Structures are given as C-alpha cells and as structure tokens.
Amino acid sequence: MTQLTGDSVAELFAGAVTLAKAGEKVAPRGMATREVLDVHMRLTQPRARLLHAPPARILNPAFAVAETVWHLSGSDDPWIFDYNARLRRYADDGVLRGAYGPRMRHWAGRVDQLYRVVDILKEDADSRRALIQLYDPALDSAGHKDVPCTLGFAFRLRAGRLHMTTTMRGQDVWIGMPYDLFFYTVLHELVAGWLGADLGDFHHQVGSLHIYDNHLDDAEQLTSLAASEIMPDLTTPWDGFDQLLRHVQAGELTGHPGWDAMSETMDSYRWWRNGAYGEAWRQAGRVGGPLGQALTSWYSELERRAGSQSSADAAAGVR
C-alpha cells in the first residue's frame, strides 16, 4: 500500500497527481487511464479542504458547496445540475441513481445513518460500529449509469479526537478528488462538532487512484502549491441542521458565519448562471476568505474560456 500524508488538501492533491501520473496503463470502459492500486492518504488538518491551484487546476467552489449541501440534506433532486451540468450524462431518467444523500440520510427509506453515527458514539465512545454505508449491491447491480465511487465512511472517537476514514473503490484524482475531499471533510467536522470532540485525522482509502490520459497535459502544468487555507468553522447543532441546509440552498443567511459564506457562494453562482455577471462578481467579493478567492478565480477562468461562447455556456462544464 502506498501512503501519502499532508497538512492540507493542496499537499495531498499534488502528491496524488504525481503518484497517479506514474501509474500503470489501464483502460476501464475503454478510457485510457494511469492507475495506482491501494493508496492511503492522511489529512492532518481537515479544514484545509479547499484546493486553490491556478492556473493548472481551478475549481468551481459553488459546486463544491452545492454538492456538499445536496449530500448532507439527503437529496437526489436535479437542482444539483444547475451547478454542474455535466452530471446529467450520468443520470437515468433525470435522476442520479448513485446519489449519496438518500443512502446516507434515508437508507431503504427509513434509516438516517448520519444520525445513527452520532447516536452510537454518544452511547459508546469506543465503538467500532459508527459507519455509513453507501454502496448497495441491490441498487448498484441494476445497470444504472451512476454507481457510487465511495463505499462508505467510518468514524472512530479516540482520546477526545474524532477520526474519519473514507473507503473508495476508485478515485479520479484530477477531476473528482478536490470536490470529494471538500464534502468528506465537512462531514467529518460536523460529526466531531455534534459529539463535542476535537477534529482528528481524515483518512482516505482508495482502491484505484487514477488519472485519465486526457488530463495528463493539464497535470504537467501543476507546479508547487501553497498549502490550502484553513476554512471557517462549520460546527452547528444537530437540532435545526436540516433547516440550516435549506436556508443555504436558497441563498439565505443563517447567522452562522461559516455557513453564510457557503450560502453566499451558491447565491453568487446563481447570479452568474442567470447572466448577471456584475452582481456575481460583487457578491464574490463580499464572500471573502478562501471561498471568495476561489470564486473570483473561477469567474476569471470562465471568462477566459468563453471566447466566442457566452459565459453561461462555458459555465455548463464546471468540473
């Protein structure tokens, strides 16, 4: 097993890209890929979660936030396509059948696995049963286009620190990993807060760490990266959590500084999608912090890509 450790997502991303580029050539579903098997990553500061690596890799932070809210709220609703239109290609009848949210919050229509994790660790702090399962053979053998890459999450409370492990069957390092780690570490931070625990290490177990050959040229432009900034605190009480998520999705302020930045990020991108670019820029400036910086970089990238296209058309492919 190959092991990588970093204090921020930027460090892990740089190391994982270098590792994947040197991987073995494989072609699952006919797609040329470089792959390394059985990789373990450890992130020592989970709140250093937002990758900012221009010009080689520029993220849409509004999608990172929206996907996180979408998962946490238990949703598979199509509003997520407003933030990443490319996801439609993986939908069956307009629905992403592998969406994590329903499996996490409403397994089989009745089990809130997120609530159970907190409940289990409150009853037995040393428990090894605080798990969230995402892969479901009953659903995922049906031939749908969208099969979860993430198998599940494990939470362990030790010496007052909550450690989290994510297990993935496969991780696309260039496109998916920065967004995935954003969501996973928000989940980690929230559960730690609900338990009154300190935030421990985040562990990322990947069966197949890979990069597609069509991203190799972009990856060659990746040079030394500055460490990711620590993002604002997101801990919030369990009571009212689902309502808070609804406010964030709607672009409404919550009174929580960290979540208000998330809400304003989503709202700014809605302005952009609607063609109100000046208002989107102004709101991005008000967001401030790592999210505001990432938003302004993303809008600059969309303008660069636009060329003969409209900015709205360029924004359709946000990953």
- Whether residue 227 lies in the annotated active site: no
Neighbours of 224 (CB within 10 A): 7
- For residues 37 and 20, what is the distance between their CA atoms, to the nearest angstrom? 9
Per-position DSSP letters for 287-319, written without gaps between them: H-HHHHHHHHHHHHHHHHHHTTS-HHHHTT---
- For residues 141 and 122, what is the distance between their CA atoms, to the nearest angstrom? 35
Residue type (1 letter), 120: I
Pairing of strands 161-168, 150-158: antiparallel
Element of type H or E holding 241: helix 241-249
Helix axes 257-273, 61-72, angle to 10 degrees: 120
Neighbours of 37 (CB within 10 A): 14
Which one of 87, 149, 187, 231 is the catalytic residue? 149
Which residues carry out catalysis? Answer: 149
